[in-house]
Chains A and B, each alone.
Chain A
Amino acid sequence: MAIIDLANPTRFLNLAHRALPWLIEITGALFVVGLYLVYGAPDDYQQGATVKIMFIHVPSAWLGMFGWLLMSIAALGTLVWRHPLADVAAKAAAPIGASFTFLCLVTGALWGRPMWGTYWVWDARLTSVLILFLMYLGVIALWRTVEDPSRAARAAAILTLVGAINLPIIKFSVDWWNTLHQPASVIRLGGPSIYPTILVPLLVMALAFTLLFVTLHVAAMGNEILRRRVRALMLMQAQSAPGSGE
């Protein structure tokens, strides 16, 4: 089967129906292992036990950016190939990405208060992530405002691609500007700067969160396909109703 064959809504629904039980089980198992490792992870020599917030903050931050990257790739599918499954993928990813970005901001604030003495500072990293969250809300609002899904998809795709400029700004903000937020400590030249007893639980949690995102996204895409079928049938019903001019 060619990859392009999967880009058929009916085939996608069948595949999702078979894959979802596996995804749910693997995600659940990874969370059990991850939380067990988090429970046993030692305190950081500087942060103390508050390092445990990092095990949810870092994966949330990664998924906030991953969600927008996914939407950007889907936006290309919408604008270049006009494929409806690309629209579906972008629309389904927005609320999930927004939720993880929100989680990143909240858990960051809860870590910042005891460590920095403040919930919030307007430094480049925090501000660019807040902008990412606001852009997510903008895209969700756009999807809800324009009734025709294909028109909404094109408008949202343009906004998404413009917003993608923010992704490298978020990633490199800690290098380009003097920020209170610490520089990269996992994905960096020279390898991670975190001790393995903290790095391993962090990576397992990151994998669990990523699979959770994928599971939710696949399920939400299935729902969006069903919503479009409902819409098409309702339009068909309205057209065939007496007095509709058909």
Chain B
Amino acid sequence: MNLGPHANFIIAAYVIAALVIIGLIVWVELDNRAQRRHLKNLHAQGVTRRSGPTP
């Protein structure tokens, strides 16, 4: 594929798009793991939605 005299601009646009999209996917995945880890730790300590202080 011949991208012509402005190939650098085209390649830069696609590389930046790929980086932004990969960044979003990584952010969502890492956030998911972090929240699940927090929940697991809290459950391990016996803190659940039904373990609140009794009145």
Residues on A lying within 8 angstroms of B by beta carbon are 39, 43, 48-50, 52-53, 56-57, 60, 95-96, 99-100, 102-103, 106-107, 110-111, 113-114, 212, 216, 219-220, 222-223, 226-227, 229-230, 232-234, 236-237, 239-240, 246
Contacts and interface: CB of A to CB of B under 8 A. Distances in A.
A107 B36 CA distance: 35
A150 to B, nearest CB: 18
A226 B45 CA distance: 17
A229 B52 CA distance: 13
A223 B25 CA distance: 13
* Size bin of chain B's contact surface: 35 or more
A226 B53 contact: no
B13 A56 contact: yes
A111 B13 contact: yes
A216 B24 CA distance: 8
Nearest to B12: A110
A233 B9 contact: no
B20 A99 contact: yes
Contacts of A232: 49
Interface of B: 1-7, 9-10, 12-14, 16-17, 20-21, 23-25, 27-28, 31-32, 35-36, 38-39, 42, 45, 47-49, 51-53
Contacts of A223: 28, 31-32, 35
A205 B19 CA distance: 17
